[in-house]
């Protein structure tokens, strides 16, 4: 059997990865702090846990927001569908009403047009009188 080498148990980043240049993007914000063994690794692990908790809270917040957006979209779609049905029904009612009005107008001749013109003139007269008496 082949012999296996034991993996080094080093907690020092510099010994594992080599020294990073200052502006390489790999440098730690804790550059001036010298590692002091196991305590330093525990501190870094604690900082990582805190950052992980913060990220988990942000992910949960984003998840809640997206679920809320999805619920709003479903409710809006349902409401728009209901409005579309209501407008279609109203359009049917109005088209029937106009059809009956046109049939009535065709049977009575042109008299209804003179009645509408007379009502518009009377309404305009009352509007003008009201405007100047204020």
Chain segment 34-53, per-residue pLDDT in tens: 555 667 888 888 899 899 99
Backbone angles phi and psi of 24, in degrees to 5: -85, -15
Answer for the pair 16, 10: CB distance below 8 angstroms, yes or no.
yes
Give pTM, 2 decimals: 0.42
pLDDT digits (tens, 9 = 90+) for 49-68: 899 999 999 999 999 999 99
Ramachandran sector of residue 37 (left: φ over 0; alpha: ψ -120 to 50; beta: rest): left
């Amino acid at each position: 059997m082949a012999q296996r080498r034991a993996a080094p148990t080093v907690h020092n980043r510099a010994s594992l990865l080599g020294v990073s240049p200052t502006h390489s993007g790999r440098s730690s914000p804790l550059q001036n702090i010298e590692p002091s063994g196991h305590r330093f690794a525990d501190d870094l692990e604690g900082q990582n846990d805190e950052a992980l908790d913060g990220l988990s809270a942000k992910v949960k917040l984003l998840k809640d927001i997206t679920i809320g957006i999805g619920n709003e979209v479903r409710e809006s779609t349902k409401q728009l569908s209901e409005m579309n049905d209501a407008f279609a029904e109203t359009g049917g009612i109005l088209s029937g009403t106009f059809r009956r009005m046109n049939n009535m107008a065709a049977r009575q001749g042109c008299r209804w047009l003179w009645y509408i013109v007379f009502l518009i003139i009377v309404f305009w007269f009352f509007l003008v009188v009201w405007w100047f008496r204020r």
